[in-house]
Amino acid sequence: MTIVDRLRYDGKRALVVGGATGMGAAAAKSAAELGAEVIVMDYAPVSYDVAKSIQVDLRDTASIDAALEQLDGPVHAVFSAAGIADGTTDLMAINFLGHRHLIERLLERNQLPSGSAICFISSVAGMGWENDLDLLTEFLVTPDFASAQEWVKAHEAEGIIHYGFSKKVVNAYVATQGYPLLKKGIRINAICPGPTDTPLAQSNADLWLTFAQDYRDETGSKVHTPEQMGDVMAFLNSAAAFGISGITLLVDYGHTMASLTNAYPPGKPIIDIIMGRVKL
């Protein structure tokens, strides 16, 4: 088998959750170009050609279960791409809990065979999650969707339930699930995108799309496209990434690492804050 064969998805089914627009749609198209049979689940309608589209509401376990009833046979790649920003109700349900419930149901239904892979979309806002591992673990050990929602409600008054927390949860979930899932032959990873021109980013453009602009100006790089992120996700879920599991991969032209190491001094203060190395 060649590297090209390992990158391809011939004979495989890819499930893209949140694939109507943005990085999810880009990942779906990348997987399709590589030979996958692509199924998209989203609350919004899908406007491009896929093998099948299924409406799902990630806030509702009954909706997720009903969507899975429309899914026959195995899934070899899961792209967990749906997400919303701060100021939106049901943040944790859409950004994480619905995805977790869906993955657990796929496992229960024996629809994630050995050799399959999962890829989430995280965020720079989720970096430094290791500093909060005890709290994140307390949340992650909730046994189901309902108990996790109760945990969220119990902690809302503390002001910790926000977009950044939802992405820290994703990073911690990926890191802690790498081992148990690999015993089933399943890999799990996430990408941590730099600023990417998606509909969600456009709705928060003043903050999201201007982040690290000075670094891009100096390096001659540009805001990422959804297609670039979709390609990275397709790689991580392909057989070519066979030994990669449990990581959140930075895809940001090296901005975070250059800032963290002071190779790019202007970026260090904000990255130190985001990663919890400096307290406000």
The full DSSP string for 224-243 is BPHHHHHHHHHHHTSGGGTT
Residue whose C-alpha is closest to residue 79's, from 39, 124, 35: 39
Q: What element of type H or E holds 66?
A: helix 61-69
Map out the domains of the chain as residue ranges. 3-198+224-254
Q: Per-residue pLDDT averaged across 85-106, rounded?
A: 93
Cβ contact 9:77 at 8 Å: yes
Predicted confidence (pLDDT) per residue in 130-145, tens digit: 999 999 999 999 999 9
**What would the mean pLDDT of 28-33 be, rounded to a whole number?**
99
Identify the helix (H) or strand (E) that includes residue 15: strand 13-17
Q: Could you report the per-residue pLDDT of 49-83, keeping only the tens digit for each?
A: 999 999 999 999 999 999 999 999 999 999 999 99
Q: Which CATH code fits 3-198+224-254?
A: 3.40.50.720
User: How much is the pTM?
Assistant: 0.96
Rounded to whole angstroms, the Cα distance separating 79 from 123 reads: 15
Give the number of residues written for the chain.
Answer: 280
Buried b (16+ CB within 10 A) or exposed e, 19-32: bbbbbbbbbbbbbb
Give the model confidence (pLDDT) of 222-262 as tens digits.
999 999 999 999 999 999 999 999 999 999 999 999 999 99
